[in-house]
Amino acid sequence: MRRPAKPPSVRPAKPRRAAARAPAARPYHHGDLRRVLIDAAMQLVGEGGPEAVSVREAARRAGVSPGAPFRHFPSRDALMNAVAEEAQRRFRAEIETALVDAPAGDPLGRFRCLGIAYLRWTMQNPTHFEIISSRRFFDHDRSAGVSSDNAELIGLTERTLAEAFSAGQLVARDLKQVQIAGRALVYGFARMHIDGHLPRWGVGEAEVERMAADIVDLFIAGIARPATPAAKV
Amino acid sequence: MRRPAKPPSVRPAKPRRAAARAPAARPYHHGDLRRVLIDAAMQLVGEGGPEAVSVREAARRAGVSPGAPFRHFPSRDALMNAVAEEAQRRFRAEIETALVDAPAGDPLGRFRCLGIAYLRWTMQNPTHFEIISSRRFFDHDRSAGVSSDNAELIGLTERTLAEAFSAGQLVARDLKQVQIAGRALVYGFARMHIDGHLPRWGVGEAEVERMAADIVDLFIAGIARPATPAAKV
DNA sequence: CAATCCGTGTAATCGGCGCTTACATTCACA
DNA sequence: TGTGAATGTAAGCGCCGATTACACGGATTG
């Protein structure tokens, strides 16, 4: 928690709205402090993980007094909520973008795309993923934005896998188990990365995305009905 | 971080060693403060998770002044290290105990036992597992005890799965992928539990251990060479 | 047995934190 | 033009981790 010496609060002087003919120095009213605080907190998350976010430091970076943020967020948790919503929004957008290139008529193929897009984003944004995945940093239940975006994504993967099931692409009997196992697999790999376990398993940073794709494929191979073989009774 | 009102520091008066004929009141020297601090911190972890541990609260529960713990631990992180070592020791002991009942000649069966024992402990001790699994709460690299215990466990599972591979029990080609996927699966399920994801996936607290066993079995079914079935070419 | 050293306790203090309160400034609207 | 609401500042509270100076007392040694 102890912070190293900091340059004395750069203060980028950002009069955004309501600055029509105002003088150059930041006016008394910031203009868009809420937004700037969220951005600063997002940056802090990127730099040092969720626990590196402090209200005071965000205020410092925004160039306002330590009490100012509390006009916009009733608590640090509320700020974290906003940060998590921002991260969740980006996460969802990226995954849905990746899905447009996915094969339309092949639910299992779409599931594969989902898993790989999920892992790609988490590998590239580990600390931001950490916020939205752990209950510690804010109150999920009280954050409608995160919950709804998250529920959308979960619903999407559930539906996709259910379609694969209905289409007879799976050998498994219990769809719910497959869904949870699939989720546990990708979530576990993402957390192994975040928590620094992968080096111990012989996966260097350069191979991470490749390995991510490989284990998604391995999982799919484990649940997919063998496609072409002449076997099967 | 704000703490609710506390009874004024119960002070259980524990003169352990060096208390032969001493008076009832705690002597000036505590006797075994290091041990008591670790126990208090373990309890705090159990009550409110790793971030609920504060040096001052541990000191309070041990009945000593706020500065006393720093005679035994140079920092909060060092205390967390000790707590993590304790947790890791218990974790390893439980898993190795579970393994004695495992089938001797069946590596894959032993692997199953490992996975289930792993998940059982994590389901029953989520906050303690959180400490030893996340790099956030202390410095893994500087904690020989945690590292070695952890390396032992990982080595054990790796060897077990490798034996299954050598014995021809697996269909997979790439052993390393299978090992990482297996780890990701159990770790992911454990973290889903810790992070409160399971309710959203329709897994109530009562069904958790059952579901844990189910997905371990599902994973094994996905990698195991079909044993008896009359099908298969 | 007495002197003393050092391990281990206390007391006081520092700066950082989240958060609150009282006050100041400015915007927006009647 | 006046006035209230919105939003900034200043100061302060208690908690935290950590450090320092000092006090106690068990063990070692002459």
Q: Do B218 and A177 touch (CB under 8 A)?
A: yes
**Domain ranges within chain B, ordered by starting residue:** 10-73, 84-223
Rounded to an integer, what distance in angstroms lies between the CA atom of residue A195 and that of residue A126?
A: 9
- What pLDDT does residue B21 have? 35
Rounded to an integer, what distance in angstroms lies between the CA atom of residue B198 and that of residue B190?
A: 10
Residue B182 banded pLDDT, cuts 50, 70, 90: very high
Q: Do A186 and B188 touch (CB under 8 A)?
A: yes
Inter-axis angle of helices B33-48 and B55-62, to 10 degrees?
120
What is the percentage of chain A residues whose pLDDT exceeds 90?
73
- Please measure the distance between the N-terminal and C-terminal CA atoms of chain B and give it in whole angstroms: 63
What's the topology of domain A14-73? Arc Repressor Mutant, subunit A (1.10.10)
Higher pLDDT, A184 or B151: A184
> Straight-line distance from CA B149 to C1' D1, in Å?
77
What values do phi and psi take at B126, rounded to 5? -60, -45
CATH number corresponding to A85-223: 1.10.357.10
Beta bridge partners, A170, equal: A224
pLDDT in tens, A13-64: 333 333 333 333 576 677 799 999 999 999 999 999 999 999 999 999 999 9
Q: Is the pLDDT of residue B230 over 50?
A: no
Nucleotide nearest to B65 (CA to C1'): C10
Distance to chain B for A6, nearest Cα, Å: 23
Residue of A nearest to B220 (CA): A222
- A-B CB pairs within 8 A amount to 119
Classify B84-223 by CATH class: mainly alpha
Q: Do B180 and A133 touch (CB under 8 A)?
A: no
Nucleotide nearest to B64 (CA to C1'): C9
Q: Is the pLDDT of residue B233 over 80?
A: no
B201 touches strand D (CB under 7 A): no
Sign of the C-alpha dihedral computed for residues A47, A48, A52 and A57 taken in this order = negative
Structure token digits, residue B10: 């119960």
CB A63 within 8 A of CB A10: yes
Residue A225 banded pLDDT, cuts 50, 70, 90: confident
Residue A71 banded pLDDT, cuts 50, 70, 90: very high
Helical (H) or strand (E) element with B55: helix B55-62
Beta bridge partners, B170, equal: B224
Rounded to an integer, what distance in angstroms lies between the CA atom of residue A178 and that of residue A199?
A: 28
CB atoms within 10 A of CB A96: 14
Instruction: Indicate the burial class of B103 (C-beta count within 10 angstroms; 0-12, 13-18, 19 or more).
Output: exposed
pLDDT in tens, A114-137: 999 999 999 999 999 999 998 878
Q: Which nucleotides of C are covered by protein (CB under 7 A)?
A: 7-13, 16-22, 25-28
Residue B208: its chain A contacts at CB < 8 A? Answer: none
- Residue B199's nearest CA partner among A203, A15, A140 is A140
Q: Which of A49, A177, A191 sits opposite B191 (nearest CB)?
A: A191
Residue-averaged pLDDT of chain B:
86
